[in-house]
Amino acid sequence: MNVAVIGVGHTKFGELWDQSINDLLAHAQLEAFADARLKPQAIDEIYTANMCAGMIEGQLHLGALAAEVIGVDLPATRIEAACVSGSLALRAGMMAIASKQAEVVLVSGVEKMTDVSNDVIATTLFGASDVEAEKYTGVTFPGLFAMITRSYFHKYGITRKDLAHVSVKNHAHAALNPLAHLRKSITHEQVLASSMVADPLSLLDCSLVSDGAAAVVLCSKEFAEKNNYTPIYITGSGASVDSIHLAARDDITTFQATNKAAQKAFAMAGVTPDDIDVLEVHDAFTMAEIMAVEDLGFVEKGKGAHAIASGEMNLDGRLPTNPSGGLKAKGHPVGATGVAQAVEIVKQLRGECGQRQVDNAKIGLTHNVGGIGTTVAVHIFQKEV
């Protein structure tokens, strides 16, 4: 299945108090249309990803809102799957094209999270967990990931000093990204000295609460060729789920859903991990990036921290990972994250990323997670097919 990406749009991520969810959607979507050299009326459907607006703002029906802000009355659907909403919206758009129900599709993701208290955000985000089994025991998402991290430490013998390399790397990448929430390099010492959130995870081990939106215009290969585009193609897509209740899993130091989704995506695209030049992975916590590069098949299990510490995942390394800055420093407006990852990879393969450009990038991958490894989507992007 070769679906073409012909337009991308992306707002700045951050504390965007002067912009509403409508403003953010309009900005990203219209930018994607301008990039594709199309008017909104040229599309057949819209898929819009969002997790939090219903609980934070009381605003549901985001599909209709996404259509209204660009002045169209086309079929428009909201996709919600926690933090993987954006990538599942992308899959929905791909499927609409592959099934020939649509020829041109707009996929967008948006979140407005910084106008409310931390208590409201924590309650909203915990809707991605098993509420009955976990929320009412008093555990939090940082608490759950702290358990995973402690278990990983015990099994593979790494420490907080090893985790710090992830945050330092991703902040260095974000410093080169004008759309990132935190454009600031940090040191290992600052990570280790930052305030504890859920031992052993400190403040600088955790991703940001951000506002933002991203959008892509997809089309069929035939439409792209007929209209003389030079697109980036999505050649592989895989998704999988695991138990929503963390305690129900046999091994919490690996995300089986990541492994299964990756196998499906690689098989569909006809490539292997060795073929990937650049990737964006879901680093909601520093431990999550280490597990991601292992579970995706890039690094032997237990060796992810060492690969990152050695510089293999830096912009000039063997496998540049999170050149955007990742969720950790670029920001994590959850409904927009999966679409924003796609925008970054498309721009990397086009050669449009300036100071953070990965040399000779031809094949890229995105990895997006909902909950604590509960729902995972992986996509493969190629410059040529």
pLDDT in tens, 145-203: 999 999 999 999 999 999 999 999 999 999 999 999 999 999 999 999 999 999 999 99
**What's the rounded Cα separation, in Å, for the pair 323 and 173?**
5
Which pLDDT band, with edges at 50, 70 and 90, does 332 fall under? very high
**What's the rounded Cα separation, in Å, for the pair 283 and 83?**
11
What are the extents of the domains in the chain?
3-117+209-232, 118-208+235-382
Segment 29-53 shows an average pLDDT of 98
Segment 301-307 shows an average pLDDT of 97
Could you report how far apart the first and last alpha carbons of the chain are, in Å? 11
Q: What percent of the chain has pLDDT over 70?
A: 100
pTM of the model: 0.97
Residue pointed to by tokens 């050669």: 351
Residue 252: what pLDDT? Answer: 97
Segment 27-31 shows an average pLDDT of 98
Residue 65: what pLDDT? Answer: 97
Residue 88: what pLDDT? Answer: 98
Residue 282: what pLDDT? Answer: 98
**Which residues are catalytic, by number?**
83, 332
Which pLDDT band, with edges at 50, 70 and 90, does 140 fall under? confident
Round the average pLDDT of the chain to a whole number and report it.
96
Residue 335: what pLDDT? Answer: 97
Residue 119: what pLDDT? Answer: 86
Which pLDDT band, with edges at 50, 70 and 90, does 289 fall under? very high
Residue 137: what pLDDT? Answer: 79
Whether the predicted pLDDT of 1 surpasses 80: no
Q: Which fold has domain 118-208+235-382?
A: Peroxisomal Thiolase; Chain A, domain 1 (3.40.47)
Strands (E), the chain: 3-10, 45-49, 76-79, 104-111, 196-198, 201-202, 212-220, 232-241, 278-280, 363-370, 375-382
Which pLDDT band, with edges at 50, 70 and 90, does 139 fall under? confident
- Token couple for 227: 């209209």
Amino acid at residue number 160 = R
Residue 385: what pLDDT? Answer: 80
Please tell me the CATH code under which domain 3-117+209-232 is placed.
Answer: 3.40.47.10
The closest of 128, 27, 6, 131 to 69, measured between CA atoms, is 27
Whether the predicted pLDDT of 31 surpasses 80: yes
Which pLDDT band, with edges at 50, 70 and 90, does 218 fall under? very high
Reported as a single tens digit per residue, the pLDDT across 117-134 is 888 988 898 888 888 888
Which pLDDT band, with edges at 50, 70 and 90, does 341 fall under? very high
Whether the predicted pLDDT of 305 surpasses 80: yes
Whether the predicted pLDDT of 135 surpasses 80: no
Q: Please check whether the two domains, 3-117+209-232 and 118-208+235-382, share a CATH topology.
A: yes
